[in-house]
Amino acid sequence: MIGLTACGNKEPEYSLEFIEGKTVTIEDNEYVGAFFNFTNNGDATTYCPNDNEMKIGFETSKLVNLQSKGIIYLLESKIRSDNSSTALLGFDNYSLEHLMPKKWRNNWGACATEDDAKKRDSLLLTLGNLAIIPQTLNASIRDAAWNVKKAGKGQNKPGLLLCASGLYTLHDVLQKNDWNEHEIENRAEWLLANAQNIWKI
């Protein structure tokens, strides 16, 4: 469970309980990458990954949904402007969304080879393809082609452009005419760069 607590003038602390039962506490001056259980050595509550481990984590790690949601939420809370026209809601008000859906075969273009399809299946589970949104998309929108997923299907089935408006971690994503493996990799690099800039040791 991720807990957000603020005591007096202290910066908020963020903690996440891993499947193994360990809890990692992230303070403002540590890398958000400490959420990743990169190593079994040392104390999981104090270990901080190096830049290479961070890169691997953002580009290839497949985390449980709660971990992914926590990392993206923390990044969103740090990179958004203080003058933003939309307020950041509490953690529990967001759901995790796969931008390229797990069921991409239904409405997305086919891959050239089976190896390419396997690569896509793997890549869509990484942070570059994940987003937080303040409401769950309708099932018919969630698995729709990219242009439909962005625009939605009327008032009763809104898409990402309406549901995710004002989220800084999705601003550039929603400008894309296509969402594919290349864009997922680019976004992973962007998320990594922001994490390294914000949580410097």
Beta-bridge partners for 15: 3, 25
What integer pLDDT is reported at residue 201 of this predicted model? Answer: 58
Average pLDDT on 23-29 reads 39
pLDDT tens digits for 66-107? 999 999 999 999 998 888 878 899 999 999 999 999 999 999
Range of the domain at 69: 3-198
Beta-bridge partners for 14: 4, 26
Which comes out higher in pLDDT, residue 116 or 198?
Answer: 116
pLDDT tens digits for 116-146? 999 999 999 999 999 999 988 888 899 999 9
Domains in the chain, number? 1
Instruction: Provide the strand spans (E) within 35-172.
Output: 95-98, 130-133
Could you tell me whether strands 13-17 and 95-98 are parallel, antiparallel, or unpaired per DSSP bridges?
unpaired
d(CA 36, CA 67): 8
Which DSSP helix (H) or strand (E) runs through 139? helix 139-142
d(CA 24, CA 18): 8
d(CA 109, CA 88): 34
pLDDT band for position 39 (cuts 50, 70, 90): very low
What integer pLDDT is reported at residue 43 of this predicted model? Answer: 52
Which amino acid is located at 161 in the chain? L
Closest by CA position to 143, among listed 102, 95, 96: 102
pLDDT band for position 45 (cuts 50, 70, 90): low
**Position of tokens 């625009």?**
151
Which amino acid is located at 184 in the chain? I
Would you report the helix, strand and coil content of the chain in percent, each value rounded to 5? 45, 10, 45
Predicted model pTM: 0.78
